[in-house]
Amino acid sequence: MRVLIMEEEATLSKTLSDKLIEADYQADIAENLGDAKYYLDIRNYDLVLLGWAKTGVGNIGMIADIKNKAHKTSVIVLSERDDKESEIEALRSGADDFIRKPLDYDILLVRIEAKLRFGASNIIEIDDLLINPEEEKIIYQDEEIELKGKPFEVLTHLAMHKDQIVSKEQLLDAIWEEPELVTPNVIEVAINQIRQKMDKPLNITTIETVRRRGYRFCFPKQIS
């Protein structure tokens, strides 16, 4: 599960990141709105922790953008505001939960777990194809397809960005924990495994190569 932290207080951001990583989440810190928009463009987040300061509009306006780009992503607002009106405003703006500071980290982790457990499903269904990221499972016409690890993650990321061209660099940044330590060739290897284990046996095309630009999820597209 991947979480994006948007919190203006740097020390709190670092503490949140450490707590999440200890709890086996993947966590990114957005230091400003530009970073947040960049991360949201290249990565699929299960949850966003959104800090809301006591004064000013702050990040609250980002909720609508997050929901428009990824309606399945949950948003929890972490706020210094203790008035009922602010909580109502956040929830009406699209937030899934509202937690007041100072934070109790044990309670926060339980609330995150509950939100991800009961939140919107990330299952992708297109015609006879079902991709379940939570269980790392692919089913096509009621038959389960054996595709695991990075090839599965590449397929899922492209499917979540259906009809968009995604570059090798974007795939590396979205999927690999330390993209600077691997070469773009690992993407070609993953794409080849998808085609060998899935496309050819099933006589379908899920991913097409867009020369010099990257890859695009194009299912359904029958091979002639």
Q: What pLDDT digit, counting tens, does each position of 84-117 carry?
A: 888 888 888 888 899 999 999 999 999 898 887 7
Does 108 lie in the same domain as 162?
no
Count the domains in the chain: 2
Residue 132's domain is classified under what CATH number?
A: 1.10.10.10
Residue 222 domain-assigned? Answer: no
Two structure tokens written together for 220:
């359904």
Residue 156 domain-assigned? Answer: yes
Q: Can you list the positions of beta strands (E) in 127-223?
A: 129-132, 137-140, 143-145, 207-210, 214-217
| Domain span at 192 | 124-217
Does 112 lie in the same domain as 9?
yes
pLDDT in the model for residue 180? 79
Does 58 lie in the same domain as 163?
no
Instruction: Measure the CA–CA gap between 22 and 45, rounded to whole angstroms.
Output: 18
3-state helix, strand, coil in the chain (%, to 5): 45, 25, 35
Residue 175, SS3 per DSSP = helix
Phi, then psi, of 116 in degrees rounded to 5: -75, -30
pLDDT in the model for residue 144? 92
| Residue showing tokens 């703006």 | 93
Assess whether pLDDT exceeds 50 at residue 4: yes
Residue 90 domain-assigned? Answer: yes
C-alpha distances out from residue 6 to 14, 89, 123, Å: 11, 18, 26
User: How large is the average pLDDT for residues 44-56?
Assistant: 85
User: How large is the average pLDDT for residues 6-12?
Assistant: 92
Two structure tokens written together for 69:
């780009």
Assess whether pLDDT exceeds 90 at residue 150: yes
Phi, then psi, of 41 in degrees rounded to 5: -75, -35
Does 159 lie in the same domain as 65?
no
Does 104 lie in the same domain as 10?
yes
Query: Which of 118, 150, 183 is the last residue before a domain boundary?
Result: 118
Give the global pTM.
Answer: 0.60
Does 171 lie in the same domain as 103?
no
Instruction: Measure the CA–CA gap between 155 and 91, rounded to whole angstroms.
Output: 33
Closest to 52 measured CA to CA, from 32, 79, 89, 14? 79
Assess whether pLDDT exceeds 70 at residue 57: no
How many residues comprise the chain? 224
pLDDT in the model for residue 208? 94
Q: Which residue has the higher pLDDT, 1 or 203?
A: 203
Instruction: Measure the CA–CA gap between 202 and 222, rounded to whole angstroms.
Output: 10
Query: Which of 57, 88, 118 is the last residue before a domain boundary?
Result: 118
pLDDT in the model for residue 118? 60
Does 98 lie in the same domain as 206?
no
Does 31 lie in the same domain as 12?
yes
Mean of the per-residue pLDDT values of the chain: 87
Does 60 lie in the same domain as 23?
yes
Q: What pLDDT digit, counting tens, does each position of 157-200 carry?
A: 899 888 789 999 889 888 887 877 888 899 999 999 999 999 99
Residue 223 domain-assigned? Answer: no
- Sequence-distant (≥ 6) Cβ neighbours of residue 84 within 8 angstroms: none
Residue 74's domain is classified under what CATH number?
A: 3.40.50.2300
Assess whether pLDDT exceeds 50 at residue 224: no
Does 153 lie in the same domain as 105?
no
Backbone conformation region of residue 35, classed left if phi is above 0, alpha if psi is from -120 to 50, else beta:
alpha
Does 210 lie in the same domain as 182?
yes
Does 153 lie in the same domain as 175?
yes
Instruction: Measure the CA–CA gap between 35 and 29, rounded to whole angstroms.
Output: 8
Residue 224 domain-assigned? Answer: no
The DSSP code for 101 is S
Query: Which of 94, 118, 142 is the last residue before a domain boundary?
Result: 118
pLDDT in the model for residue 147? 94
C-alpha distances out from residue 14 to 62, 109, 207, Å: 21, 15, 37
State the pLDDT confidence band at 223, using cuts at 50, 70 and 90. Answer: very low
